[in-house]
């Protein structure tokens, strides 16, 4: 969410930013906001003038009574003023709702380094790490391979829960936990505080961290309660600090959290495909940073390097893809995806995403910093350390062997009770 003062002073810049995001239907929101804001401020002045007049009238009525003069007109005016104030307040309330709606819908300003493009097809490759392996045999689909090894059951999960779920069995379930522990330990060694958050979140927190479109497309609502299942641990981890003012000396706050993630994935391509790639439920290790505005892009680069290091440790070929303007969510100022190589499809696929929200989330949640003299909004960043479902897809494809077995990445062997190869479960 942008500062309304910034929009007042830079209306054309805000509109140009909307054009760069190819959201021209939102251009009208800027004028709607400014008109409502001007009218609201005019009404505030009228209301203040009426309150001042009410006090003055009270004094004039008392003076008239003491002097034995008639005060009927003053008494009538005194009766009418509260009604006028109430009418102004009612109009102001509607205007403030309009202002809030527009502020939540107008997208955040993109960082100057963001490439301009219409959609994901225009995202820009920034770096590659690792060399894709050449196979002497046809590479199997991860779901097909997992079923042949009896380490996953997608048919049973479709029966118990529907499409987009899975049962992990035996060594694949162990691999899932190994990935979680590996990612957690790496982040703790980097100085991040480990936190396990609640798996449900209240709506006023969710609207502070997510856009309305994302809530509608992703969030599972708990029937009859003010609770949603979390789509990522980032949301409760940022929500922990709602309404708080942090001491400058405390920053940056670096947090890593594990949780399952629940997503409706409305309209998402690939949800009907059997497997682990796109699901309604998955496990993820996340990292979150709250920091000084001037530090946020140095920390952005640091956070990206952590994810790169995690996947380099797994010896998986990856690349970094910078998101173009049209592929940025409304709260994002800058974002990139980390993608792993799929030898079966001969292309990269997303395994994580890094975002700098700058002050957008902090403004919505009122997270401030104080240096002892002034208060100002913090910058917030979030990044996927590792989503185990996507990582398992990459491992099953890149580490499969001709005999149908799967080699365990060396970095995970200490977390696998010594298991070095995944073979068919008995």
- Of 203, 278, 292, 302, which one is the catalytic site residue? 278
Residue 19 annotated in active site: no
Reported as half-sphere exposure (CB side, CA atoms, 13 A), residue 167 has a value of: 16
Residue 353 annotated in active site: yes
- Of 32, 91, 265, 350, which one is the catalytic site residue? 350
Give the DSSP letter string of 348-404.
Answer: EEEEEEEEEEETHHHHHHT-EEE-SS-EEEPEEEEEEEEEHHHHHHHHHHHSB-TTS
Using an 8 Å Cβ cutoff, are 107 and 17 in contact? yes
The number of residues making up the chain comes to 426
- Of 47, 234, 259, 263, which one is the catalytic site residue? 263
366 contacts: CB under 8 Å, gap ≥ 6: 242, 243
> Rounded to an integer, what is the distance from CA 265 to the centroid of its chain?
15
Rounded Cα distance, 92 and 382, in Å:
36
155 contacts: CB under 8 Å, gap ≥ 6: none
405 contacts: CB under 8 Å, gap ≥ 6: 149, 421, 422, 423, 424
Write down the H helix ranges in 106-245: 142-148, 154-160, 170-189, 203-209, 212-218, 234-239
- Of 342, 353, 358, 363, which one is the catalytic site residue? 353
CA distances for 210 relative to 1, 75, 103, 105, 296, angstroms? 11, 52, 13, 11, 20
Read off the tokens for 273: 């495909």
Using an 8 Å Cβ cutoff, are 14 and 109 in contact? yes
Using an 8 Å Cβ cutoff, are 397 and 411 in contact? no
Residue 233 annotated in active site: no
- Of 364, 368, 390, 397, which one is the catalytic site residue? 390
How many other C-beta atoms are found inside a 10 Å radius of the C-beta of residue 78?
A: 16
Using an 8 Å Cβ cutoff, are 363 and 100 in contact? no
Which residue in the block uniquely carries the two structure tokens 């090894």?
Answer: 149
- Catalytic annotation, residues: 263, 278, 350, 353, 390
């Amino acid at each position: 969410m942008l500062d309304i003062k910034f929009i007042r002073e830079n209306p054309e810049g805000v509109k140009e930013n909307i054009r760069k995001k190819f959201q021209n239907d939102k251009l009208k929101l800027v004028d709607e906001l400014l008109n409502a804001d001007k009218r609201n401020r005019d009404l505030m002045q009228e209301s203040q003038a009426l309150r001042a007049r009410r006090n003055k009238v009270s004094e004039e009525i008392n003076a008239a009574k003491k002097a034995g003069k008639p005060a009927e007109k003053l008494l009538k005016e005194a009766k009418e003023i509260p009604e006028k104030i109430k009418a102004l307040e009612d109009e102001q309330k509607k205007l403030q709702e309009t202002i809030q709606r527009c502020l939540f819908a107008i997208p955040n300003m993109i960082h100057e380094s963001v490439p301009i493009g219409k959609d994901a097809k225009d995202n820009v490759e920034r770096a590659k790490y690792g060399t894709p392996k050449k196979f002497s045999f046809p590479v199997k689909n991860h779901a097909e391979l997992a079923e042949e090894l009896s380490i996953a059951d997608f048919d049973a999960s479709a029966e118990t829960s529907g499409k987009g779920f899975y049962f992990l069995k035996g060594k694949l379930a162990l691999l899932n936990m190994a990935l979680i522990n590996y990612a957690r330990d790496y982040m703790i060694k980097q100085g991040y505080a480990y936190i396990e958050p609640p798996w449900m979140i209240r709506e006023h927190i969710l609207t502070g961290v997510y856009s309305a479109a994302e809530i509608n497309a992703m969030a599972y609502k708990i029937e009859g309660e003010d609770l949603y299942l979390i789509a990522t641990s980032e949301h409760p981890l940022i929500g922990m600090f709602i309404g708080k003012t942090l001491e400058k000396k405390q920053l940056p706050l670096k947090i890593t959290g594990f949780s399952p993630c629940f997503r409706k994935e409305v309209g998402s391509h690939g949800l009907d495909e059997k497997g682990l790639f796109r699901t309604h439920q998955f496990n993820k290790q996340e990292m979150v940073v709250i920091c000084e505005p001037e530090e946020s892009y140095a920390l952005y680069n640091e956070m990206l390097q952590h994810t790169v290091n995690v996947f380099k440790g797994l010896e998986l070929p990856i690349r970094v893809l910078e998101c173009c303007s049209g592929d940025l969510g409304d709260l994002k100022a800058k974002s990139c995806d980390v993608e792993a190589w799929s030898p079966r499809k001969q292309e990269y696929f997303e395994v994580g995403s890094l975002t700098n929200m700058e002050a957008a989330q902090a403004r919505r949640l009122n997270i401030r910093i104080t240096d002892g003299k002034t208060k100002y909004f913090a910058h917030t960043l979030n990044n996927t350390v590792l989503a185990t479902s996507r990582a398992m897809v990459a491992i099953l494809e890149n580490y499969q062997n001709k005999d149908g077995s799967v080699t365990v990445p060396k970095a995970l062997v200490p977390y696998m009770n010594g298991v070095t190869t995944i073979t068919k479960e008995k």
